[in-house]
Amino acid sequence: MKNKTALLLLFSLSLFPARKIKIASFNIQIFGQKKCNNQTVINRLAAIITNFDLTAVQEIRDISGKTMPFFLKKINKISQAPYQYVISRRVGRTRVKEQYAFIYNRKTVKYNNNAVLYNDRENDNFEREPFIASFTAERFDFTLINIHLKPGDVKREIKALENVFRKLQQESIPDKDIIILGDLNTDCRYFDEDQNTFFPKNIFSRVINNALDTTVSDSKCTYDRIIFSKKYTDEDYAGPAGVFKYDSVYKLKTAPLKISDHYPVYAVFYTEFDSD
């Protein structure tokens, strides 16, 4: 009987493919008014965002606050679905401060109105404390940790980030699907990914693995990551995961570095089968 039920389930899934969402992370290098004023660049950035249901953005640098509203209009002008965003306040120890944002497709993703910067005042572990928000896509409810680690302090900050993850799972969040995504700078001259243990593989899935190059320049570095718990979130991970190489996708004639020095990274998740 069990075998018969399993066969019926597989047959039904073949007739009605499982619904999925694509979640991405994108460090849009020094994202501010200069890029907004370059029509070619801002239009291409808008097109890139529409490839994903939700994108965690790092490195927004604009004291005027005009960049994200302008960017959203560009996205919605070309998108078939309405997008919205939630943004953090400006963070950083120095005068060079950054903001995080989550940009999401309102048809496929619901924002749960609970975005917050992690309270790092006591220990001051992070140059830019993580930005945390929860979302729902059908039955899949999940919490995202958006982060840009300081290049010169990756070893210390990566340990603190793992503690943030564990603390969130232990606290009152009813759902255990927590996903870290962002520019972790975990490679090349900042961090030896082979010699340093981070987010151990027996506990965590690092779907943007060490073999992938997430940088636009000639260097081959895995700076950008998507990480989640094997125990709770592997069941929701649909695959694939990878690097969205926009210069190849759009056959760019202009230098891709004008858009960013990073490529977006992404992972695909089921929206129908969440059990926690």
**Would you say residue 5 has pLDDT above 50?**
no
Its pTM surpasses 0.85:
yes
The partner residues of 234 in beta bridges, in order of sequence, read: none
Task: Give helix 39-49 / helix 67-78 axis angle, nearest 10°.
Answer: 70
Phi and psi of 81, rounded to 5°? Answer: -125, 150
CATH number attached to the domain at 20-270: 3.60.10.10
**Would you say residue 160 has pLDDT above 60?**
yes
pLDDT given at position 95: 94
Per domain, the residue ranges of the chain are 20-270
Residue 205 — very low, low, confident or very high, per pLDDT cuts 50/70/90?
very high
**Would you say residue 10 has pLDDT above 80?**
no
**Tens-digit pLDDT profile for residues 45-69:** 999 999 999 999 999 999 999 999 9
Separation between Cα atoms, residue 89 and residue 59, nearest integer Å: 12
Q: Is 136 exposed, middle or buried (0-12, 13-18, 19+ CB in 10 A)?
A: middle
**Tens-digit pLDDT profile for residues 241-268:** 999 999 999 998 767 889 999 999 999 9
The secondary element (H helix, E strand) that includes residue 3 is: helix 2-15
**Tens-digit pLDDT profile for residues 219-229:** 899 999 999 99
**Would you say residue 8 has pLDDT above 70?**
no
250-265 core/surface letters (b: 16 or more CB in 10 A; e: else): eeeeeebebbbbbbbb
pLDDT given at position 248: 94
